[in-house]
């Protein structure tokens, strides 16, 4: 069996994976993820007990027990470049024998649930809504570097969205886990999430820097492919869904809608909206 080299899979001197600084025994099969490292503690404050904590760069990990269930909560920081590192190293923890550097014969599929914040792209998706991403569309170039398989429907969305936006590469469209959606999001809004490689220009915001595509938000708002429309944007979901498919993990992105970009409203109570989402997930997991 071929060995993964020391530069492809970098391990720290304690045997942990390079950026996450974790060993296989540090994680559980179900992992809740957040962007903001400080949100990890907000979730595990609800736990019965926390048995493990680690911080490495923006990757903060807590492992513990909530309502009798073993869970891991991890922060990723912002952007799909972080998600690429996060998903590869998480997968290596369960599907690579780190001692022999060989891929395990029997694969483990993780349940990965993002609890994130997001902005609404549609007037009828209000601030305060909790949204599960059915599909995510990556408006970044991450999938130019991987051999992602897409369904015919996903390919059509990718093709027509490139046409509509005029981007010089094809965005990638990927569905999330229907199993996790049915378990966790049965009363939430079901939407389709645009994942942007930035918070300002790539989401149509303008401060001082001149935008190359000043109408970008309007283009995303108006995009239709049969009955498909984009409902919200953020910065990680498509990276999760695509890497999840490549590696065989169940992934669901749940979004607390904090801003409505059409009505230009921002939540008066963002912590409460995120808190509601956390409580729902912990009750249902």
Ligand X SMILES: O=P(O)(O)O[C@H]1O[C@H](CO)[C@@H](O)[C@H]1O
Bridge partners of 49? 65
Among 91, 140, 154, 234, which residue sits at the site for ligand X (rule: CB under 6 A)? 234
CA distance 274 to 256: 6
Cβ atoms of 42 and 68 within 8 Å: the answer is no
CA distance 240 to 255: 13
By CB under 6 A, which span of 164-172, 182-190, 206-214, 227-235 interacts with ligand URA?
227-235
The site that binds ligand X (CB under 6 A) totals a number of residues, namely: 10
Which listed option, ligand URA, ligand X, none, makes contact with residue 173 (CB within 5 to 8 Å by class)? none
CA distance 252 to 224: 23
81 binds ligand X (CB under 6 A): no
Which listed option, ligand X, ligand URA, none, makes contact with residue 180 (CB within 5 to 8 Å by class)? none
Which listed option, ligand X, ligand URA, none, makes contact with residue 35 (CB within 5 to 8 Å by class)? ligand X
Among 116, 171, 202, 204, which residue sits at the site for ligand X (rule: CB under 6 A)? 116
* Lookup: tokens for 121: 């792209």
Among 80, 82, 118, 133, which residue sits at the site for ligand URA (rule: CB under 6 A)? 118
Among 64, 79, 119, 239, which residue sits at the site for ligand URA (rule: CB under 6 A)? 119
Q: Following CA atoms 41, 43, 45, 49 in sequence, which dihedral angle do they give, to the nearest 10 degrees?
A: -100
235 binds ligand X (CB under 6 A): yes
Buried b (16+ CB within 10 A) or exposed e, 225-261: beebebbbbbbbbbbbbbbbbbbebbbbbbbbbbbbb
Among residues 111 and 255, whose Cβ is nearest to ligand X?
255
Among 32, 189, 259, 278, which residue sits at the site for ligand URA (rule: CB under 6 A)? 259
203 binds ligand URA (CB under 6 A): yes
Bridge partners of 50? 64
Among residues 15 and 198, whose Cβ is nearest to ligand X?
198
265 binds ligand URA (CB under 6 A): no
132 binds ligand X (CB under 6 A): no
Among residues 35 and 64, whose Cβ is nearest to ligand X?
35
The least distance separating ligand URA from the CB of residue 16, rounded to whole angstroms, comes to: 30
Residue 239: which residues within 8 A CB-CB, separation 6 or more? 79, 80, 81, 83, 84, 87, 138, 140, 142, 195
Which candidate, 47, 71, 46, places its Cα nearest to that of 61?
71
Residue 13: which residues within 8 A CB-CB, separation 6 or more? none
Place of tokens 């209000």: 126
Among residues 116 and 138, whose Cβ is nearest to ligand X?
116
Residue ranges in contact with ligand URA by CB under 6 A: 117-119, 199, 203, 233-235, 258-259
**Residues in touch with ligand X (CB under 6 A):** 34-36, 78, 116-117, 199, 234-236
């Amino acid at each position: 069996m071929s060995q993964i080299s020391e530069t492809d899979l970098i391990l720290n001197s304690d045997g942990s994976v390079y950026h996450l600084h974790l060993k296989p025994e540090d994680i559980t099969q179900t992992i809740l993820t957040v962007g903001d490292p400080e949100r990890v503690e907000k979730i595990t404050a609800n736990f019965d007990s926390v048995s493990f904590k680690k911080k490495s760069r923006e990757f903060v990990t807590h492992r513990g027990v909530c309502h009798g269930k073993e869970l891991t909560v991890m922060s990723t920081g912002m952007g799909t470049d972080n998600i690429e590192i996060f998903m590869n190293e998480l997968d290596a923890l369960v599907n690579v024998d780190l001692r022999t550097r060989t891929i395990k014969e029997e694969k483990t599929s993780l349940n990965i649930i993002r609890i994130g914040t997001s902005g609404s792209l549609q007037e009828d998706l209000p601030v305060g809504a909790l949204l599960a991403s059915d599909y995510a569309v990556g408006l970044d170039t991450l999938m130019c570097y991987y051999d992602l398989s897409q369904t015919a429907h996903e390919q059509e969305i990718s093709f027509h969205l490139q046409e509509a936006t005029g981007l010089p590469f094809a965005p990638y469209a990927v569905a999330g886990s229907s199993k996790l959606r049915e378990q966790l999001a049965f009363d939430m809004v079901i939407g389709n999430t645009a994942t942007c490689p930035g918070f300002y220009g790539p989401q149509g915001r303008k401060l001082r820097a001149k935008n190359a595509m000043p109408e970008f938000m309007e283009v995303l708002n108006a995009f239709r492919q049969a009955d498909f429309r984009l409902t919200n944007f953020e910065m990680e979901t498509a990276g999760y869904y695509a890497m999840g498919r490549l590696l065989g993990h169940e992934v669901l992105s749940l979004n607390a809608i904090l801003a409505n970009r059409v009505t230009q409203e921002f939540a008066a109570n963002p912590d409460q909206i995120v808190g509601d989402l956390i409580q729902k997930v912990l009750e249902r997991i």
